[in-house]
Chains A and B, each alone.
Chain A
């Protein structure tokens, strides 16, 4: 019995392991250098889940909605992250504001490949993830760091028994030192929020009506919230800046 308790505690402790912030030198250099922020949406769809109450249990059904071609999500979400990094004192520029149309098309192919390398069976997470053409192009434009980010896709989860829906996604970041050709920080940061939705509205109506107005505003709100430190249900949650080491942590 005691062995069972000890092993369960060990498992719980292992699960609580936190991501270390970047080295203070890197954080300082990053704040003085020129930083490019690039978000790449390799998912381009809303993932819906709905719990169905069956009296004796719960079933879960799913659907999805492809928004590729209807929303320039990579560009718009990059702008959201860029604005948040600027608030942290980083001289950040969105990738999509410094490249030409032809460079953008070329980089879309490269980032698609990077997304596949990371999310596919190889799970590449080291320096080799950044393709040399991408690095050379940014160095050529006088940049020092690249924050490359992607996500798991937006999940909208409708619960049963009158509970409010939840939305969630996980963003994975890589901070590349372009001149040193090394990663100074990488990590995944989850976002989860409760959604207050008008009664009688379906998930699709809430998110997709008026050219995806609901989805765009929910994503913007979630990104903004994740860059703030906060306390919910007595649990303190560090901001993106604190997790990365760009802001002082409140232990």
Chain B
């Protein structure tokens, strides 16, 4: 009984720590199809309201705006056997990586902010 109590005392905090680890995090939304954005109907604001701000905005020579959304966060470091690290403030962080583009989505808007094309990952 004594041993059981001791084991509980040791194990319980670990469970507590593990439970407290799983927060909502950055909150990158990647359920692109679920939003059902409609070409010629949805606007820039509809897209941003649902997905949040994009990871990249580009303007093409015809004045159309391309919003690029990554399909996942980027792994910037992994450290086995070390504690929580504090990275310095990067001046300009790196762009989307190849995987991000492949699993992500792109929405194209005209000069009035109307969605005119969309490229979403296959279901």
**By the criterion CB–CB under 8 Å, are A157 and B86 in contact?**
yes
Min CB gap A157→B, angstroms: 7
* Chain B residues with CB below 8 A from A20, complex form: none
Interface residues on A, range: 35 or more
Q: Is A51 an interface residue (CB 8 A)?
A: yes
* Chain A residues with CB below 8 A from B28, complex form: 63, 204
Q: Is B1 an interface residue (CB 8 A)?
A: no
- Whole-angstrom CA separation of A201 from B84 in the bound complex: 21
Q: Is A236 an interface residue (CB 8 A)?
A: no
Most interface-central of B29, B54, B83, B89 (chain A CB within 10 A): B89
**Given known contacts A119-B92, A203-B25, A204-B26, A61 and B57 CB-to-CB distance under 8 angstroms:** no
* Chain B residues with CB below 8 A from A153, complex form: 89-93
Give the contacting residue for A49; candidates B17, B24, B87; CB below 8 A.
B87
Q: Mark A108-124, 1 if CB is under 8 A from B, else 0.
A: 00000000000100000
**By the criterion CB–CB under 8 Å, are B89 and A208 in contact?**
no
Give the contacting residue for A58; candidates B55, B56, B84; CB below 8 A.
B84
Give the contacting residue for B75; candidates A61, A155, A159; CB below 8 A.
A61
Give residues 64-122 of B contacting A (CB, 8 Å): 70, 73-87, 89-93
Min CB gap B12→A, angstroms: 15
Q: Is B61 an interface residue (CB 8 A)?
A: no
- Whole-angstrom CA separation of A43 from B81 in the bound complex: 34
* Chain B residues with CB below 8 A from A163, complex form: 84
Min CB gap B18→A, angstroms: 8
A159 nearest in chain B by CB position: B84
**By the criterion CB–CB under 8 Å, are A58 and B91 in contact?**
no
Q: Which of A67-75, A99-107, A131-139, A240-248 sits within the interface?
A: A67-75
Give residues 39-55 of A contacting B (CB, 8 Å): 43, 45-51, 53-54
**By the criterion CB–CB under 8 Å, are A64 and B55 in contact?**
yes
**By the criterion CB–CB under 8 Å, are B26 and A158 in contact?**
yes
B87 nearest in chain A by CB position: A49
* Chain A residues with CB below 8 A from B91, complex form: 43, 119, 152-153
- Whole-angstrom CA separation of A168 from B90 in the bound complex: 10
Q: Is A180 an interface residue (CB 8 A)?
A: no
Give the contacting residue for A61; candidates B18, B20, B54, B74; CB below 8 A.
B74
Q: How many residues of chain B get a CB closer than 8 Å to chain A's CBs?
A: 39
**By the criterion CB–CB under 8 Å, are A67 and B53 in contact?**
yes
Give the contacting residue for A51; candidates B55, B74, B84, B89; CB below 8 A.
B84
A118 nearest in chain B by CB position: B91
Q: Is A60 an interface residue (CB 8 A)?
A: yes
* Chain A residues with CB below 8 A from B54, complex form: 65-66
**By the criterion CB–CB under 8 Å, are B53 and A54 in contact?**
no
- Whole-angstrom CA separation of A59 from B81 in the bound complex: 11
**By the criterion CB–CB under 8 Å, are B84 and A47 in contact?**
no
Give 19 new A-B contacts, CB below 8 A, not counting A57-B80, A60-B77, A66-B54.
A48-B73, A53-B21, A58-B79, A59-B75, A59-B78, A60-B76, A61-B75, A62-B73, A63-B70, A63-B74, A64-B55, A65-B55, A66-B53, A70-B48, A153-B91, A157-B86, A170-B89, A203-B24, A204-B52
**Lowest 6 CB-CB distances: which A-B pairs, in order?**
A202-B27, A65-B53, A162-B20, A57-B80, A61-B73, A202-B24
B residues adjacent to A (C-beta < 8 A):
17-18, 20-21, 23-29, 48, 52-57, 70, 73-87, 89-93
A residues adjacent to B (C-beta < 8 A):
43, 45-51, 53-54, 56-70, 119, 152-153, 155, 157-163, 166, 168-170, 190, 199-205, 208
